[in-house]
Amino acid sequence: MAAPVRGMAGSISIGNTTSFQKKTRSKLVSIPGTRPSVQNGQLLVSSGVSSLDYVIGGGLAVGTLLLVEEDRYDSYSRMLLKYFLAEGVVCGHELFLASARDHPDQIMQELPSPIVDDVAGMKISEGQSQPSDPENPDTMKIAWRYQNQPKVQIALASSVRFGHYYDVSKTMEPELRQAAKCHSFYQLQETPVTTGSSLIKVFVKTSLYFQVLASASKVRNVLRLGLHSLGSVLWGDDVCCKDNPAHCHALTTFLYILRGLLRTSLSVAMVTVPSHLIQNRAVMGRIIRLSDTAIALESFKGSEKETNPLYKDYHGLLHVRQLPRLNCLSCEVPDTKDLAFKLKRKQFTIERLHLPPDLSETVSRVSKTELAAGCGTTATGNKHLDF
């Protein structure tokens, strides 16, 4: 029995062959500014805001559509669009910008400037808490019963850095902005059109640009599409004017066709919609379902929440309407849904909504006279024991 085994071993060692083959990892598309998703292997790009990437699952998946419901004054939704475009400029991606109110060149001139300094230094300058010195008597001390409690992690950030950081107090240098390949569509420069046909024009120009991009260059690159305030009156659509618009399917048909174009190309789109002007909630529901990722920005400006001490550290709330389900049956559920955003001096961030210890100075407390009177005395005229 030993001889055949030795002969078999000898034949294997001489031939140096085996029926097992080493499985090699499939080659992923290598494009600057992209990375594969840990959950489903989908190619991701950054939205320009690292905290927003963390909320929606690590970034925007290539071939998907991000819907942003605008705030009432279109201040913060416009800023998210500029972050999205600025990230494309820094990564060298192709850009397509369509607008009906502001000229696309004006939006491009307002892009924030990228920060090239150390990220750690930037975080310290933004006001993160420093470790307290026990020898310094001026440092704040907490009660002994709360010392072992875990600290509340307010900031939303991933362990792996993805994307870039930007300074909203400065604009991007013209040389960097002009080096980007950007194509635009301005509705007011077009001839007067009927209701809904402006969206068809955007679709035709976008589809033609997809075909030219696919055939002209052999180098694979990502196309970023930014559509600002889609569905407003300036686009020639009546979805924001009537409860029962005559062309209620124009916007939804356009989004359906656009989503099909995104699926067959290396592209990602961000669409902002004035949802507070759309009176028909059924139409707005269809718009959300036709997108892959949907978020809503609720600004405190001009509302009662602006003076509410509960929200004194924030400028608005972020609502996650829908998350993408790509290559899986269920989407990644965020650990918290109580999200708020704030605009700092240099940065736009999204944080967990954390309640302050005291809402105001009028919190119900025991008065000093009751404390001085003590328990069981009748100095305050109360015969019952007050604990």
* Triad 264, 268, 269: Cα angle to 5°: 115
Give per-residue pLDDT as tens, 41-75.
889 999 999 999 999 988 999 999 999 999 999 99
DSSP per-residue letters across 270-323: EEEE-TTT---HHHHHHHHHTSSEEEEEEE-TTSGGGS-GGGTT-SEEEEEEE-
pLDDT at res. 157: 63
pLDDT at res. 239: 80
How far apart are the C-alpha atoms of 227 and 202, rounded to whole Å? 9
Confidence of residue 131 (pLDDT cuts 50, 70, 90): very low
Choice between 141 and 61, residue whose per-residue pLDDT is larger? 61
How far apart are the C-alpha atoms of 323 and 330, rounded to whole Å? 9
Choice between 60 and 123, residue whose per-residue pLDDT is larger? 60
Lowest-confidence region among 101-105, 106-110, 125-129, 190-194: 125-129
Choice between 68 and 183, residue whose per-residue pLDDT is larger? 68
How far apart are the C-alpha atoms of 297 and 306, rounded to whole Å? 14
Q: Classify residue 333 by its DSSP letter.
A: P
Give per-residue pLDDT as tens, 282-309.
889 999 999 999 999 999 998 888 888 8
Q: Classify residue 359 by its DSSP letter.
A: S
pLDDT at res. 114: 94
Give per-residue pLDDT as tens, 77-89.
999 999 999 999 9
Confidence of residue 121 (pLDDT cuts 50, 70, 90): very low
pLDDT at res. 1: 46
Lowest-confidence region among 19-28, 158-167, 366-375: 366-375
